[in-house]
Amino acid sequence: MATETRGEEGGLAFHPMDQFIVKPLFGDGPVGIVTITNVTFWMALAVLCVVALLVLGTRGRALVPTRTQSVAELAYGFVYRMVEDVVGKDGLRYFPYIMTLFMFIVFSNFLGLLPLSFTTTSHIAVTAVMAIVVFVTVTVIGFVKNGAGFFGLFWIEAAPLVLRPILAVIEVISYFVRPVSHSIRLAGNMMAGHAVIKVFATFAAIVAISPLSVLAIAAIYALETLVSFIQAYVFAILTCVYLRDALHPHH
């Protein structure tokens, strides 16, 4: 039965999950800690794109911005307003961090949409590192700013006294699930979307349904472009929400 399944999978033109394999960029030795892989390459490319947009784009500092400069200003203003609205004025100290996260994720997601490219954010290993750093940072900020008052986040004073211990347990659990859901949301969305595109791409090899399949790829590609942006936005805004909780544990 297992061999049958294998044979069936071999019938597809390619496996939809093949695009997520981490390979060394040069040669094909084992992947160690310092091996240059395709993940390294696409991450570096994402960083280079961010630098190109934000540093080179605003180098002219024209009063009437060029196209690149207005995109850079738009991105800056977008994240700045988001931090200001969600966290508040005192959260603007942490704006560079959230801007970095947002730009990196946006560019990783968009670069992953290029044909034959590799989506770095589709790997839980990548997003988990970002989510854990956010989690640790936020927890440390919470304790530094509020001291023991940070526990007020779990002890909800607005609730009746009888309910408070139960709510505290729920709040503690939901606090520790945060890095899990934070990372899996991004990785899962990226992986699912790209796998769906590839599944439809395998259908394109069947002549009878290939026109339909090509249309479906176009539609899903458009959806993925939207999802790529929205997931980066969601990651950034959830970081803001966690930061707000850390700065103001008593709502």
The reply on whether position 233 binds other proteins by CB under 8 A is: yes
CB atoms within 10 A of CB 159: 12
Binder to other proteins among 24, 88, 152, 188 (CB under 8 A)? 188
139 Cβ partners below 8 Å, 6+ apart? 246
Residue 31 structure tokens:
């992947």
Binder to other proteins among 68, 143, 155, 185 (CB under 8 A)? 185
The reply on whether position 125 binds other proteins by CB under 8 A is: no
Residues 72-91 that bind other proteins (CB under 8 A): 82, 85-86
The reply on whether position 16 binds other proteins by CB under 8 A is: no
Binder to other proteins among 103, 111, 134, 238 (CB under 8 A)? 238
If the CB atoms of residues 49 and 84 are measured against other proteins, the closer one turns out to be 84
Question: 């084992």: which residue's tokens?
Answer: 30
Alpha-helical segments (H) within the chain: 2-11, 38-51, 67-86, 95-112, 124-146, 164-203, 210-247
Amino acid at 150: F
If the CB atoms of residues 65 and 188 are measured against other proteins, the closer one turns out to be 188
DSSP 1: -
Please identify, among the stretches 29-37, 113-121, 149-157, 234-242, the one whose residues bind other proteins according to the rule CB under 8 A. 234-242
The reply on whether position 184 binds other proteins by CB under 8 A is: yes
Query: Following DSSP, what letter does each residue of 14-75 receive, concatenated?
Result: S-TTGGG---BSSS-----SS--BHHHHHHHHHHHHHHIIIIITTSS--SS--HHHHHHHHH
Binding mask 153-182 for other proteins (x = CB under 8 A): ----------------------------x-
Q: Residues interacting with other proteins, by CB under 8 A? A: 1-2, 5, 17, 82, 85-86, 181, 184-185, 188-189, 191-192, 230, 233-234, 237-238, 241
